[in-house]
Structure formats: C-alpha cells, structure tokens
C-alpha cells in the first residue's frame, strides 16, 4: 500500500512539472493610433523655440482639415474640439509559451507572451489655415449673367511632433483550443519603452488663387504657384508606459504537412491607454488602438 502511494505521488509530480509542450514566435506588422489633444500654438513654440514660422503673426489662423479644408471656430490657442487622431507604423517580435497548467490541459491554459516592439509615430500636432478673399472684378456673360471674380490668398501651418519608439511587452493570453485550425484569443498586457529621434516639423504653405462665381457657384478656378517653407527642431527623448487588451483571430495553414501545421496567420487588435512623456511639455494619457497582421510559428 505504501509502495502504491509512492508510485502515485511520483506520477502526479511528473505530470505537474512536465516541461511545456511547445513554444510559439509571433512576428507582426501594423499600425498604431493615438487619440491625442490638439497642439496649441504656445505649446508648439516650446517644441520648436527657434521656428521663424511660429514667431510670425498667426492670430487669424484657425484649425482645419486638409489644404483648403473645413475650418473650426477658434484660434491657434483655443480648440473647440480638443482631440485628433495621430499614429504610425509598428513592428513586433514576441515569444509565447504554455508554461501554466498540465500539458494535457493545454487548451484551457493561459499563454505567457513577451517580446520587443519598434515603431515610428506622430504623437501630437495640429493644422491651422487662413484664407483672405478680396473682390477683384465683375463681368457680364453673353447670357446676361453677372460673374464675380475674387482674389484669394490661402496659407496654412502644419506642426507635427514625431518620434521612434522601442518597447518591451508582456501579455497573458487565453486561447480557445490552439490545436484547431481556427482559434480566438483575448488577454491583458502591458508595455514600457523609450522614445528617441524626437523631432518637431513646422511646414508652411501659401497660394494665391482667382475664383469666379455665378450666384455663389464657382464656375472658374485658377490656381497659382504654391510657396512652401519647412523647419525641423530636435527634441529630447522621453518614455512611455501602456496597458491594453489584446484580442485576435488565428488560422493554422495546414493539418498534416509539418511546416504548414506549425505555421498560423493571425490578426490582432490591442485597445488600451498609453502614458507618454514629452519632456518639453508634459506627460499625456492617450487612448490607444493598434491593429496588426502577422505569422505564428510553433516549435
């Protein structure tokens, strides 16, 4: 009886502490986006203190979207809608291992995943524009309609703060059965990293146009040459810290062929919050969403 108890205890110990069945590598490429506060002129001057463009008179400029786009009410130091989407590209390489639970219960076990990420992103910025329209002349067409001609001077300033990012990541993932062709997973994770190659771009454009209209409808448009100026300022490096919820769909390429059976394609979305320090300004807490596509290799 004692011998049987010893044999059962030994077997239990072997089953509990057996090594993980396999490891997985994750390689992915995708985009990352932040919901960031829009940059005000006073803050832009802190990022680019030597900018001649920002030192000029911008009191009549308003926030807008695109060249000649819609303008919001307000000015360069007041934004009625104080949010904008920024972001860039990100590459990640990670290692996942089933280190928890008994091997025969792998499909119910969480997966530990950790790795490294690199990206280049725009973190904060703004776009301002100003349009001055001056009545120029009035013509009468052969049909008797009056055509009004205006001289239009349009100018814009785009300020963009960008950086490269290096991040370390650690996740815990919960998969549906990973041995099936299709599997889903969700989890929780965090990352910590540094920003470097930080810089601020200030880009100015101007253009003179002639617009002719008939009862408010533009019937003729003559665009002049665009004049542009570009300035760059170097900034200090910072840091970032984030928490997120990863969720993904994975598809294993084969059933019997060894290489295909060990390879899966996956799509993943991470939603969370990122604390990002910009030394010249402050630390921002930014809602973050990252989408990626990649491959998993089991070995």
Report pLDDT digits (tens) over 61-82.
Answer: 887 654 344 445 555 665 555 6
Report pLDDT digits (tens) over 203-219.
Answer: 999 988 777 666 655 55
Domain boundaries, the chain: 19-298
C-alpha distances in Å from residue 140, one per residue of 81, 148, 254:
43, 9, 74
**Residue 295 to residue 260: CA distance in whole angstroms:** 11
pLDDT value at 236 more than 90:
yes
Q: 79 near 40, Cβ under 8 Å?
A: yes
Instruction: For 228-285, give the DSSP string.
Output: EEEEEEE---EEEEEEEEEEEEEEES-SSSHHHHTEEEEEEEEEEEEEEE-TTS-EEE
**Residue 44 to residue 38: CA distance in whole angstroms:** 10
DSSP 104: G
The alpha carbons of the chain give a radius of gyration, in whole angstroms, of 29
Q: What is the pLDDT of residue 108?
A: 57
Nearest to 63 by CA among 78, 44, 50: 78
Mean pLDDT of the chain: 81
Nearest to 123 by CA among 33, 193, 43: 33
pLDDT value at 169 more than 90:
yes
> Is the C-alpha dihedral spanning 284, 285, 290, 295 positive or negative?
positive
Beta-bridged to residue 127, according to DSSP, are 158
- Which pair of tokens denotes residue 131? 């349009």
**Percent with pLDDT over 90 in the chain:** 47
pLDDT value at 107 more than 60:
no
């Amino acid at each position: 009886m004692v011998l049987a108890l010893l044999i059962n205890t030994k077997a239990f110990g072997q089953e509990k502490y057996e090594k993980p069945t396999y490891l997985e590598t994750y390689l992915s490429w995708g985009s990352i986006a932040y919901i960031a506060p829009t940059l005000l002129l006073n803050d832009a001057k802190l990022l680019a203190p030597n900018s001649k463009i920002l030192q000029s008179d911008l009191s009549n400029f308003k926030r807008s979207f695109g060249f000649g786009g819609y303008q919001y009410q307000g000015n360069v130091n007041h934004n009625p809608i104080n949010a904008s989407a920024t972001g860039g590209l990100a590459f990640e390489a990670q290692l996942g291992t089933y280190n928890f639970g008994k091997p025969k219960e792998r499909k119910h076990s969480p997966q530990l995943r950790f790795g490294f990420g690199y990206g280049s992103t725009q973190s904060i910025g703004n776009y301002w524009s100003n349009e001055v329209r001056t009545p120029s002349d009035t013509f009468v067409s052969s049909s008797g309609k009056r055509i009004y001609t205006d001289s239009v001077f349009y100018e814009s300033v785009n300020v963009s703060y960008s950086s490269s990012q290096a991040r370390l990541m650690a996740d815990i993932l919960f998969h549906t059965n990973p041995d099936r062709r299709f599997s889903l997973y969700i989890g929780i994770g965090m990352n910590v990293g540094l920003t470097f190659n930080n810089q601020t771009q200030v880009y100015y454009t101007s253009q003179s146009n002639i617009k002719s209209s008939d009862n408010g409808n533009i019937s003729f448009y003559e665009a002049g040459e665009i004049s542009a100026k570009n300035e760059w300022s170097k900034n200090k490096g910072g840091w970032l810290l984030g928490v997120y919820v990863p969720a993904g769909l994975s598809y294993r390429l084969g059933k019997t062929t060894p290489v295909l059976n060990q390879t899966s394609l996956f799509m993943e979305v991470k939603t969370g919050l990122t604390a990002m320090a910009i030394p010249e300004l402050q630390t921002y807490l930014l809602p973050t969403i990252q989408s990626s596509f990649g491959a998993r290799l089991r070995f």
